[in-house]
Amino acid sequence: MKELNTFQSINERDVDLLVLEELNVSDSFAQWFVCRVREEITSVKTLGAWHSVIDTNLGESDLVYIYQSDDLSSQAILIENKIDASAQAQQGDRYRLRGNRGLEDGFWQDFRTCIIAPKAYIARNSEPYDAAISYEEIMVYLAAQGDKRGLYKAQTLRDAIKKNRRGYVATVCPKTTEFAQQYLAYVSEHFPQLNPEQSKPRANGHDWIHFYPAPVNKKVRIIHQIYGKVIKLQFLGQADNFDDIKSHFEGLESSGYRIIKSGKSVNIETPLPEILIAEQSFDSVLEEISIALNKAKQLHSWMENYHSVCVFR
């Protein structure tokens, strides 16, 4: 029996319940987790943690943790947990939409989104979350408690990490891959100044097309979110400069653009016509692609103007 693993197999629900228990019963773990997500020291009074919280229109959050902060306001962390499953389309964005819905409904006054997963999974994750905490970090924290309970839970996470290492197989979607290849080739030929990303195999739902018009500054990019029907100019890590950016670009809001914070970043975005990759060929949506790329050109021009008058950090 000693040669057998404690668990025949670890699944995401097992890890969900492990973290759920820690958030509900361990004040020290909850404090560590919140400080890790927010990247600042803050006091935490747990109000509750819940598993599999479903919004009928916006989907499911694996875990929702609500706590009272220093200013007595209710704060939430919406947590996505992954071992080796591929991300669903726009999964990170839907977490933010559910967080905003909680604000509107008065469930909390502020929120963050977070993914927990093995370090190897986080390294290849392309979905946007405010924070990412690896299983390895949680495992080290639990093991450092020095008691049998902490060591047992650390071993559970170690088994989950092993499953990730042997179990992940990227499922390439030929239709999505071909569409993206044609799109990127078209941009390279007709809009080279947008500096499109390199083509690569794509899973189903991985429909973001990235442009890097300032190659030496990877903090700025333009993204066409096909499924999300939006194109955006994104300033990565510039949430602290939101007021300056909004002041410079606020004239665009009357033209249908939104200037918003998204986690640690600032987005300037506008809606686009619908494109259904699964049902439409690239050639059949050239008109919609042209609209998107002309918007991208405008965003590029405004980005260059912003850089000419501001010192971008």
pLDDT digits (tens, 9 = 90+) for 162-210: 875 655 555 688 999 999 999 999 999 999 999 999 998 887 778 889 9
What CATH number is given to the structural domain containing 297?
3.30.1460
Whether 193 and 125 map to the same domain: the answer is: no
Name, in order, each residue with C-beta under 8 angstroms of 30's C-beta and a sequence gap of 6 or more: 22, 23, 44, 46, 65, 67
Whether 40 and 150 map to the same domain: the answer is: yes
* Range 115-119 contact pairs with CB under 8 angstroms and sequence separation of 24 or more: 115/79, 115/80, 115/81, 115/82, 116/15, 116/19, 116/79, 116/80, 116/81, 116/82, 117/81, 117/82, 117/83, 117/164, 118/83, 118/84, 118/160, 118/161, 118/164, 118/165, 119/161
Rounded to an integer, what distance in angstroms lies between the CA atom of residue 182 and that of residue 127?
A: 23
Domain membership of residue 126 (yes or no) is: yes
Quote the mean pLDDT of the chain: 88
Name the residue range of residue 230's domain. Answer: 174-309
SS3 311: coil
Domain boundary residue, one of 167, 194, 216: 167
Q: Are 45 and 68 in contact (CB under 8 A)?
A: yes
Domain membership of residue 7 (yes or no) is: no
Whether 204 and 157 map to the same domain: the answer is: no
What pLDDT does 10 receive? Answer: 79
Whether 283 and 179 map to the same domain: the answer is: yes
pLDDT digits (tens, 9 = 90+) for 83-119: 877 777 678 888 999 999 999 999 999 999 999 999 9
Whether 253 and 180 map to the same domain: the answer is: yes
Query: Dihedrals φ, ψ of 267, to 5°?
Result: -115, 140
- Report which of 161, 139, 158, 159 is spatially closest to residue 150, judged by C-alpha positions: 139
Beta bridge partners of 268: 233, 259
Whether 178 and 159 map to the same domain: the answer is: no
Query: What share of the chain has pLDDT > 70, as a percent?
Result: 91
Domain membership of residue 67 (yes or no) is: yes
Domain membership of residue 86 (yes or no) is: yes
Domain membership of residue 5 (yes or no) is: no
Whether 252 and 163 map to the same domain: the answer is: no
Domain membership of residue 248 (yes or no) is: yes
Whether 163 and 22 map to the same domain: the answer is: yes
Q: Are 177 and 201 in contact (CB under 8 A)?
A: yes
Whether 138 and 273 map to the same domain: the answer is: no
Domain membership of residue 98 (yes or no) is: yes
Total structural domains within the chain: 2
Domain boundary residue, one of 167, 184, 213: 167
User: Which of the four pLDDT bands, split at 50, 70 and 90, describes residue 309?
Assistant: very low
Q: Are 198 and 281 in contact (CB under 8 A)?
A: no
Q: Residue 274 class from Cβ within 10 Å (0-12 exposed, 13-18 middle, 19+ buried)? A: exposed
Domain boundary residue, one of 140, 167, 194: 167
Domain membership of residue 17 (yes or no) is: yes
Whether 179 and 194 map to the same domain: the answer is: yes
What pLDDT does 5 receive? Answer: 60
Res. 3: pLDDT tops 60: no
Whether 206 and 146 map to the same domain: the answer is: no
Regarding pTM above 0.75, the answer is: no
- Report which of 234, 224, 233 is spatially closest to residue 274, judged by C-alpha positions: 224
- Report which of 261, 277, 142 is spatially closest to residue 207, judged by C-alpha positions: 277
Task: Work out the average pLDDT over 67-78.
Answer: 94
- The amino acid occupying position 206 is H
Tell the residue number behind the tokens 């495992």, with chain if given: 139
Whether 155 and 270 map to the same domain: the answer is: no
